[in-house]
Amino acid sequence: MFKSKYVLPALAVALMGTSALAQDNPWQVRARVLGVYPDESGDLSVGGAALGGDVDIDAGYVPELDITYFFTDTISAELILGVTPHDVTATNVAAVGGADVDIGDVTLLPPTLTLQYHLPTEGRFKPYIGAGVNYTIFFDEDAGPVADGIDYDPSFGLALQAGFDVDMDGEPGGWLFNVDVKKIWINTDVTVDFTTALGATVDADVNIDPVIVGVGFGYKF
């Protein structure tokens, strides 16, 4: 079982332990366009009894801002900020003859903090890898035309990433081009009120687990 209460303090200690090594100009900001591609799955149940069916969540494309702080030439921390709206469908639901049921849309706020290692290279190509944590908040929930209401629990999970910057100025600092790929594990318990349509409330354990691909530009101070 993943214990969030241990990961955050450990990450904070790691960051504070390297803060004394920060560069003279440690900040970097980027603006990217993200493609968010859920690798979703779900278990539907009523009163603890399996209902059958699955969950389908569409892809999303959104702008994003991220901030990076360099502790050394090779160690940094990155925080990404953005929101992603998604349409949600319960698929092959046994209670309605195996039909698909539109359960509306929801917007995710998934701030993700990663600790990165930048491979030391001599040229303008600067690859990196990272790992960290994600906390996802769900808001603007729309239950769709059939359900009476819907509720999503927040999620805490791991994140992995790999990417590269290309130095566009050929000097320390300045403009850069970036490509970044993240895998984020998001799990939420969803409660859908189908009192009018089915006379029941449906519970769903949903794994969203998106792959996030970002392309954009940044500036290293």
Q: Cα separation of 155 and 135, whole Å?
A: 6
pLDDT for the residue 53: 86
pLDDT for the residue 27: 97
- Going by pLDDT thresholds of 50, 70 and 90, the confidence category of residue 46 is confident
pTM for this structure? Answer: 0.85
Whether pLDDT at 23 is above 60: no
Indicate the residue type of 65. L
- Going by pLDDT thresholds of 50, 70 and 90, the confidence category of residue 52 is confident
Query: Could you identify the residue written with the tokens 């349409």?
Result: 87
Residues 6+ apart with CB under 8 A from 180: 32, 161, 162, 163, 212, 213, 214, 215
Residues 6+ apart with CB under 8 A from 206: 40, 41, 42, 55, 187, 188, 189, 190
pLDDT for the residue 1: 43
Helix, strand, coil content of the chain in percent (nearest 5)? 10, 65, 25
* Phi, psi at 72, each rounded to 5°: -140, -175
Nearest by Cα to 41 from 209, 191, 190, 213: 209
- Going by pLDDT thresholds of 50, 70 and 90, the confidence category of residue 14 is very low
